[in-house]
Structure 1
Amino acid sequence: MTLLKVIEVLAESDQSWEDAAKRAVKIASQSVRNIRSIYIENLEAAVSGDTIRVYRINAKISFTLDPSDE
């Protein structure tokens, strides 16, 4: 039986929401193995004047647990 676990993460980028999602997965993969998916729950942007300065996401990352972790 495959068992999944979900963690919630916040990430940001000065490029785009897509880049923020890529960063979230990249950084999470440094401490979490077997990442299966990312679900973007919320998008936010910080604006200065008429320009978006920072793109932020709130996401859930799911990963499989190793049999030894179960």
Structure 2
Amino acid sequence: MTGPNDYMEVSEICELFGVARNTVYRWRRLGKLKQVSKVGRKTYYRREDVYALIDPEAAEKDKADNA
């Protein structure tokens, strides 16, 4: 089951990586991040997808371990 802490807003991603909002939108356009939901003006991304940008190999290993 997922909870509210499983998702991140664009502003949180910007703060984590030290990038501008346009960079996050570009990552989405390039397929590096997948938008999960949009509520009003807020766009949400899965936390695990965001952290996979930091270490893609660890993310793939984690997915394999949980399968």
TM-score grouping bracket, smaller chain normalisation: 0.3 to 0.5
TM-score after normalising by structure 2: 0.34
Q: Which has the higher contact order (CA 8 A, sep 6+)?
A: 1
**TM-score of the superposed pair, with normalisation by structure 1:** 0.33
Could you say which structure has the higher strand fraction?
A: 1
